[in-house]
Amino acid sequence: MKNITIAIEGSTYAGSVAILRGSDVVCERSLRGEERSAHRMERGERLMPALAECIAETGVSSRDLARIVCGAGPGSFTSLRVAGSVAKGLATGYGVDLHAVNSLLLTVAGLIQEEQAVDPPRRKTPSAMLAPGPYLSLLDAMRGEFFALRVLVEGDQTVKPMGHVELMTLDDIAEIRERKTVLRCIGPGQEIDVGPHARGVGVLLETILEQGPVDLASWEPDYGRLAEAQVRWEAAHGRPLRT
């Protein structure tokens, strides 16, 4: 029975990959530890070598592979393009379905899944288990804004989105906190300082499968907004950049 999932996440430059058997993580790699030793643009190119290491370590073959799951963003334009291209290439090459999952959900789910990972957990404190309730998952959107998604963690550590992704300023986030409509903010540089991770697919797998695969030919990640280079070009030329 094919029960192996390859998960890829690239919404930030600290990309990650994971291999799951069912909903259990059997191997994972993160590029976060390479941030000081490699230029951030180069780290996206290391997703494939990291995945190759996991495949070699676990000994999984194409006969075992059921699907590819890719973090769909929003987030870094370049990193998402790399991760999306790798995911589409693998799905095409292996002849399996490609599924997409919101990267802001992978921030919350990745932390919940962390204690179940094969490698020893990095955190030995209760913060690895999130108290039930609503959270605000955040990723830097540049220009003083954040991609934001309200996420509900239920008592059994099930993770569900509440609404849709929004663009928020620091003032917007402060207002939400003042109204106490969320427990804590979670994301890189936030009160709970973690980023999206491919391992979170294990927590979300049932929901991901219920939503079905994407169309392999037309799917692209949700970048959230135009690439910064395109914004600068359009500002300099005073007209939209045709694609």
Fill in the amino acid letter for 33: G
Cα end-to-end distance, the chain, whole Å:
43
Give the residue among 22, 4, 27 at the shortest CA–CA distance from 198.
27
* H runs (alpha helix) in the chain: 40-43, 47-58, 77-94, 103-114, 170-178, 201-211, 228-237
Task: Compute the distance between CA of residue 226 and CA of residue 235 in angstroms, rounded to an integer.
Answer: 12
For the segment 7-44, what is each residue's pLDDT rounded down to a tens digit? 999 999 889 999 999 999 999 999 865 444 444 445 45
For residue 225, what pLDDT band results from cuts at 50, 70 and 90? low
- Evaluate whether 94 touches 216 at the Cβ level (below 8 Å): no
Q: What is the pTM of this model?
A: 0.86
74 cis-preceded (ω within 30 degrees of 0): yes
Q: How far is CA 89 from CA 7, 16, 61, 213, 214, in A?
A: 13, 17, 16, 15, 14
Domains annotated on the chain, with CATH: 4-123+195-237 (3.30.420.40)
Strand order in the sheet with 97-101: 24-30, 16-21, 4-9, 65-71, 97-101
226: confidence class by pLDDT, cuts 50, 70, 90:
low
238: tokens are: 């005073």
| Cβ-proximal residues to 220 (8 Å cutoff; 6+ apart), any chain | 84
Taking the C-alpha atoms of residue 31 and residue 221, their distance in angstroms, rounded to an integer, is 20
- Phi, psi values for residue 193, rounded to 5°: -90, 80
**All residues at 6 or more sequence positions from 196 whose CB lies less than 8 Å from its CB, including other chains:** 9, 11, 12, 16, 71, 75, 103, 104, 106, 107, 110, 139
Q: Give the pLDDT of residue 88.
A: 97
Averaged pLDDT, 87-113: 97
pLDDT digits (tens, 9 = 90+) for 133-146: 999 999 999 889 99
Would you place residue 229 in the very low, low, confident or very high pLDDT band (cuts 50, 70, 90)? low
Over residues 39-81, the pLDDT tens digits come to 444 545 788 999 999 999 999 888 999 999 999 999 999 899 9
pLDDT at position 94, please? 94
Q: Which of 130, 142, 112, 134 shows the shortest CA–CA distance to 223?
A: 142
C-alpha to C-alpha distance for 75 and 230, rounded to whole angstroms: 15
